[in-house]
Every structure is written in C-alpha cells, then in structure tokens.
Structure 1
Amino acid sequence: MKRNLFALIAAVATASSASASEGLYYVGSEAQESLPLKWTIGLNATWDDNVSPTAIGVGANENAFSLNPYVGLSFVNMTPQSTLDVYARLGGIFYLDAPSALGSEDVYTQARLGVNWTRRFSERLRFSTRNFIAYELEPDYAYGFSTTRQVGEYLYWQTDNSIGYRWTERLATYTGFSITGLEYDSSVPNSDRLTWMVYNQFRYQLSPQSVLTFDIRYSDTEGDGLASDSSSLFFLAGIEHRFSPNTILIFRGGVQIKESDAPLGSDGSSPYVELAVRSQVNDQFSVRAFARYGMEVYDTVRTAPLGGVYDYDERTTLRLGVSGDYQLSPMLSLFGGIDYIPATFDEGRLVAGAGPLTNNGLEENLINLYLGLSVKFNETFYGTLSYNYTDSDSDFVGYTYDRNRINLGIRAEF
C-alpha cells in the first residue's frame, strides 16, 4: 500500500499546480531512470501567411519567411533519494524580410530553461521543486495564458515548490507555493502579470488505482497598466485514476471565487474544471489531452468595437487541447493536434477613452490545428514537415483572422 500511494503521489499530485515546462498537458510523471547528457542542434524553415495577425493597417495579412536555428540539451540524474531533470534550448527567429507591423523586428530570441528536482527524505516525506523560464515570440496554447500572436516577445517564468507527506496508509497531503510571471515589452501594454499561489491538496487512496483529492487554492494577481489586481479562491474535488500502467486520468471540479481590487471592480464566482488524460494506447499510438474552464486573469484589457478601453473582471475561458503521435514504422511517424479556446468577456469597466461605463457579453473563439510528419534518417539525424492552421473569430477589432504556417525542419541528436 505504501508503494502504491507514493507512486500515485509522485505521478500526479503536483498536477494541481502544473509547471509551465509541461504546460496544461502535464500530468505529473517524473523521470523513471537516469539519462545521459543529450545535445540537439536543429534548423527550421517556416513560411507564415499572416505573421502579424492582430495588426491593423500596416503589416496586416503580411506573409513572411523565417529561419529558426537552435541548440538544446537535456539530462536526468536519478538516485534512490533524488531526481534531477534539466533541459534547455536556445535559438532565434530570423526573418528574411522584417515584418512591417508597428513594433516588429527581423530577429527574435527563443530561449527555454527548466530545472526540476525531487528529494525523497523518507517513505513519508518528499520535497519537489519545478522551475521554468522562457523568453520567446510565439504563444504555446498549452501554457494556459495566450490566445493570440502578439507583436513583441514575452518572458514567462514559474517556480512551484511543494512538500508531500503521507500521514497514514491511505491519507496524504501536498502543500505548496508557486509564483508565475509574464512580462512583455512596451509594444504589448497592459498584459504583464505576476501571480503567487498557495495550495493544499488532501489525497485519499481509494484503491491501488484510484486517489480521491480535495484542493484548496488561493492566488493573488498583480495586473499591469490599466489591468486591475485580483485574487481567486478555489475549492476543488477530484479523482486520479490509472486505467493501466500506460493510461492515467486526472479530474478536478469545483468553484472559483474571484475578487477584483479595482475601486469599481466586480466580484464573481464560476465553475472551475481541470481534466488531463495521457495514454500510450499501444506501441505505435500515444495521445494526450487537457481541458480547463474558469475565469482567467490574462489579456483582460481590450478595446471594445464601438471604442473605449475596458478591463474585463470576468474573462471566462475554456481551454481544450488534444495531441497524438502515431509511429508508422521505425523510421516514420505522424503527429497532430487541436486547441480550442472559446472565451466570454463580462463585467468590463471603462478604463480609457470614451464610451459606456460598462461593457458585457463579448466573445472570442480560437481554433488551432496542426499536423506533421517526422522522419528518422539514422540514429543521429531527424527531419520534420508540419502544417499549422489558426482561426480566430472575435468581437474585438483586430482579433479576427486566419493564419497558415508550413514548417520544414532538420535536427541532429547526440
């Protein structure tokens, strides 16, 4: 029983405050064995038919060709007492012709670094820290904050630290503290955020395959510019179930209570749901999926269709994503996925310009599809060909667009 309980704690407990290194797809799996240092060197060539999709006027619907060279490394060191997992990637985007939208450049940096460490002090006590930082241009919809391509680069970082303790044969807790930061340059105003969160999760071993959970979370967010500060309190009940050694389901649902610190801000509550699934269906096919529904604090300051800038206290968003990989042969595999992000903007307060004092009921829907082919030429060299389609339908001016991207890449691993 001890081994089963701690295996499930190690596998899924920290999903309640998922690290950005894995985004919303993360379901808590830790490295199972040490892996030697691996280097990756690659180059991607991308054609984009709408490189600045939110641009109005100059730069709107502009196509561009870019090159993306990069170098990366990863390694895992595992002992009976601890696990250290490190990965990094450094690269850049070089446009042959600089996009003409205001604030655009011809060179952008892409950098990511993740450091995860787990220390097992005893069969009862363990400490885990997951840390991630990224400085890049393109949004990754699995992170859970972006819905559209912005003109400028962003810096995103998170540290999530927790202590797990098994109190009895069936009862355990995870208690933690996380800080998340999002910063853009001056070309993307009112979008920076700083959020800290404290959480406690109670875990009850229902069976060798199932754990019941109850989460209490409190988060506080500092907005930038015209965006207000806010806080949220979450009460969530859930279950984590392993259908097999290769298939796991995580579900949590409950209520989110959100308060705005603005003088005329609106307080409210909303259902809150998290769902994550990962399955290695067979030797050839694997699939991952996530869903999240609740009130978000990102990208809440928008210009309304009839003018006036509003800060929306209730941005209710569903994020749904599914991805899969299918190995056709030892040398050839397919990959693909879909992201669907509908959002509703309510309780908008006029914060700049002229217009009604309040604004409600505006909607935005984004669909992102991608499909690709990966080829293994030999033990060192790999190639990829992929197509990405994004469609955004929004009530806000400048946020309705479609976008096509074709990417050809080659990389070496050693």
Structure 2
Amino acid sequence: MKRTLLAGVAGLSALGSASGEGLYYAGSESQESTPLKWTVGINFTYDDNVNPTATPVIPDPNNPGGLLANPGYKEEAFSANPYVGLSFVSTNPQTTWDVYARLGLIYYFDKPSASGSDDLYTQARAGVNLTHRFNERLRLSSRSFVSYELEPDYAYGYATSRQVGEYFYWETDNALGYRWTERLATYTGLALRGLSYDSNVPNADRFTWEAYNQFRYQVSPQAVVTAEYRYGQTTADGLASDATDQYALLGVEYRLSPNTIFVAKAGVQLHDVDTVSGNGDTTNPYFEAALNSQINSAFRVRAFARYSNENYDTVRTVFGAINGTNQFDLYEFTSRETLRLGVSADYTLSQRLSLFAGVDYIPASFDNGLLRNSAAQPPAQIGDDFGGIPAAVSGLSEDMFNAYIGVSVKLTDRITGDVSYNYTDSSSDLFANTYNRNRINVGVRAEF
C-alpha cells in the first residue's frame, strides 16, 4: 500500500503537466531503464491550405475601408521536415530520470505568400521528468517541457489553431509528496507556464504561475480519492488583461486493470479578469480527465477531456461589428469557456505493420467581449460607443475539429516508414478562423 499511494502522489495532481503527453498524461511513471536512443528522419508534406487563418481579402493600405485580394488565401505548399531526436530513461530505487529531445526544421520549397510568412521554420522540443525518493514517506516530482515551433499540438491545452509565426512554450511542475499515514498523503507544488509569439501575433503572450495542494486518500488498492485547491495568476501581453484563477476540485484515480488507469477531477473555477470595466468575474464548472489503456499487447488507447475558462487567445478581431461595413474591431473576451477532447490509438497488425489514428475536438464560447480597439477610431476606452460600434459583444462561438490516420511500416530492424493523412476543420464567428485543411505526410526514420 505504501508504494501504491506514493506512486499516485508523484504524478496525479500534475494532470496535463509537462510530460511530453500534454493533457493525455495520467500519472504514469517510467518503470524500466532504457538506453540512449537516437532517431534521425525526414518527412515530406503536402498542405492544401498552408496559411489556414489567411482571409480572402485584406485591408487596402491606399484606400481606407477598401479591400484587396489576399494571395495567401487557400494556398497549397510542399515542405520537408528533417529532424533528429534522442531519449533515455534511467531508474533505480531512489531516482528516475526520463529525458527526451527533438530538433528539426520545416522548409517550404516555395515561400508561402501570407504576410509574415517565411520559407524556413524551426522545430525544437525537449523534456525532463524526474522523481526522487528521499525516503518511504517523502518524494520530489519534477516534470518540465519546452518547445519552439510553428504548428500547435492541441493536446497541450493552449492553442486552438495555427498562428502566423513561431511560438515558444514552456512549462514546469515541481512538487513534494508526503505520506502522513498508511492511507493519507498530500501533494504540494508550484507550476509555471509561459507562451511567447513573435511580433506577428500581438496580444497572445502569457505567463502563469499556479500553486496547489492536494489531499489523497486511498480507499482500496485500486482507488484513490482526492481533494485539491489551486491558485494561479496569469500575466498577459498587449491589450489582453491579467487574470486570477482559483479551483476547488474533488477527484478520483482508479486503476481498472494493471494496464488501464483513469483519472478525473471536477469542481468549480473562480475566474477573475483584471479589466478596466471591473466586470470580469465569472464562476464556472471545471472538469478534467485522462484515460490510458494498454488493452492488449497490440492495442493502446489514450483519451483526455478538459472543460475550463481559458486565458489564452482572448483578444480577437470581430469583422463588421456594424452591419454592412468592412471594419476590423478588436475585442477582449473575459469569458472563453472551452472544452478540449482528444483520443488517440495505435494498433499493431504484425511485427512490421501498425496503424495509428487520433481525433481532437475543441468547441469554445466567447462572452463579455469588450471593445479595445477600432479600425475607424483611436484605441477605445472600455464602455465607450464609437459611431454605433458595440462596446460589448457576447454569444460568439468557435469549433475546431482535427483528425488524423496513418500507417507505419518497419522496413528494416532500424528503419521505419510512415504515411498519414490529417484533416482540420474550423468554424468560427470570429474573424479569420473559419477554414478547412488537408495534409498528406510521407516520412522515413532510423533508430539506433
């Protein structure tokens, strides 16, 4: 019982932390050491909408209120993505290290035409997960992740669509777990997260710190119930406002079988946005869950869900707030309630052939949008009404669906080939985020 309880303490409160799995993370910890492994590969991709957020028209700089055709709208592109990666796991009775890194490039054979685009982008990811057991009662858990890339990974819970330009994202979650009795333990920690875009994406940078404490009580060898409180503050960039969030959550961890674990938490989120108008306070339900199951030796399934009021991507353009005009107005939405769902699976057909697939679905609602800047007026003061432009808008929505399927073929003992297809569909009441996109990828990699 001691070992089971402490193993839970080491990870479960960090659901969605920097594990390389994002919201898929379900508290798993590496059990066996693996030697240093290098991976070298290259992917070739056809993209039928390389600038998915590009609009059919753009403002005419020489004609106020006029529009021009956008050469980047629904533009096709071919690209190459060479990369190199490494990973290793070191375990002993006291300390476990899990380290991974990947460095690559995206090169477009023809530079995309959208404003701010380039023909070469960097891809880099790295992570370090550490568990150190001081004794049978006390342990340290540290999970850290960093990335610099162009395409977002929806499983990390901050992006909804591709932005124009690379971004730098990092997070670290560090906590101490202590077992007070045979059944009762606590898990206390501090999580830090940062998101930074280049100058082509204003109002999007964020920094968040979050402190938390979780009580854990083991009711059976398979089940642990939890009670948790979190307090966090987010510092925003540009026209976006800072925010404070508090969470009071109850949860359960249940091991359905030796190879299947389910983790869930639900409760209330107190969301306070520091707006000039002073009406940025909301109380929302909060829910998060993850499932990780190795159904048999050939079939693995993972899933996650999270519903929350998010602080990311809250300053958005509303086109034509006055009916019949070609006007671009910036609003800050103090309520962005978002559901994130994801499922991924892989199935081994034979020693050389395997299938993989996944789905992401992200619906969001935008309310209490306050006018921050109008194309027809100087920067707006909250609560003003300029020439009939609404000072506030609500009831806008955005749905994003992403799915992929592929096949992996082991060509030799060290070389593997992949072919995959990815489809994305986004429908939005907000400007420049309604599109669909198809991508076909062919790749080969060597492991040694």
TM-score band w.r.t. shorter chain: over 0.9
Partners of 2:232 and 2:219 lie apart in 1 by 29
After TM superposition, give the deviation of residue 51 of structure 1 in Å: 0.4
1:315 maps onto 2:336 in alignment: yes
> Is 2:371 the partner of 1:350?
yes
| Partner AA of 2:224 in structure 1 | V
8 Å CA contact 2:234, 2:244 repeated in 1: yes
C-alpha distance in 2 between matches for 1:229 and 1:77: 40
| Residue 53 of structure 1: aligned partner | 52
Cα drift, residue 95 of structure 1? 0.2
Query: Where in structure 2 are there 5+ consecutive unaligned residues?
Result: 56-69, 322-327, 375-385
For 1:395, the equivalent position in structure 2 comes to 429
Map of 1:108-123 to 2, 5 A cutoff?
108-123=121-136
1:150-189 deviations in Å (ceiling 9; x for gaps): 1100000011110000000000010000110000000011
Aligned to 2:201: 188
Q: Matches of 2:355 and 2:164 in 1, distance apart?
A: 31
Give the Å deviation of 1:117: 1.2
Q: Does 1:270 align with 2:304?
A: no
Kindly tell me the number of residue pairs found equivalent between the two proteins: 413
The alignment yields a C-alpha RMSD, in angstroms, of: 1.0
Distance (Å, rounded) in 2 between the aligned partners of 1:200 and 1:16: 13
> Secondary structure of the residue that 1:169 maps to in structure 2?
coil
**Residues 16, 22 of structure 2: 8 Å contact kept:** no
Where 2:207 maps in the other structure, the secondary structure is strand
- Is residue 250 of structure 1 aligned with residue 263 of structure 2? yes
Checking the alignment, whether the CA contact within 8 Å between 2:269 and 2:285 is kept in structure 1 is yes
Residue number in structure 1 paired with 2:300: 286
Give how far 1:6 is off: 2.0
- Is contact 2:316–2:430 with CA below 8 Å preserved after alignment? yes
Cα deviations by residue, 1:51-73 (Å, 9 ceiling, x for unpaired)? 01111223010010000000000
Whether the aligned pair in 2 keeps the contact of 1:165 and 1:172 (CA below 8 Å) is: yes
C-alpha offsets along residues 81-124 of structure 1, whole Å, 9 cap, x if unaligned? 10111111001000000000000000000001111111100010
Match of 2:8 in 1: 8
Q: Provide the residue aligned with 2:30 in structure 1.
A: 31
Secondary structure in structure 2 of the residue aligned to 1:3: helix
Give the drift of 1:378: 2.0
Per the TM alignment, residue 17 of structure 1 is displaced from its structure 2 partner at its CA by 5.4
State the alpha-carbon separation in 2 of the partners of residues 21 and 7 from structure 1: 19
Distance 2:16 2:160 in 1: 20
CA distance in 2, matches of 1:389, 1:17: 25
Q: Look up the SS of the partner of 2:349 in the other structure.
A: strand
| TM-score, length basis structure 2 | 0.91
Residue 168 in structure 1 maps to residue 202 in structure 2: no
The residue identity in structure 2 corresponding to 1:340 is Y
d(CA) in 1 for partners of 2:246 and 2:14?
17
Distance apart, 1:350 and its partner CA: 0.7
Q: Does 1:368 align with 2:369?
A: no
Which residue of the partner structure matches residue 252 of structure 2? 239
Shift of residue 255 of structure 1?
Answer: 0.4
Q: Which residue of 2 aligns with 1:326?
A: 347
Residue in structure 2 matched with residue 304 of structure 1 by the alignment:
318
User: Partners of 1:16 and 1:295 in 2: how far apart?
Assistant: 17
Kept in 2, the 8 Å contact 1:58–1:102? The answer is no
| Structure 1: distance between partners of 2:7 and 2:239 | 45
Note closer, same or farther for the CA distance 1:169–1:253 as it changes in structure 2 (3 Å cut): same
Q: Give me the whole-angstrom Cα distance separating, in 2, the residues matched to 1:294 and 1:77.
A: 36
Alignment-derived partner of residue 127 in structure 1: 140
Residues 51 and 62 in structure 1, CA contact (< 8 A), matched pair in contact too: yes
- The question of whether the paired residues in 2 share the 8 Å contact of 1:17 and 1:160 is answered with no
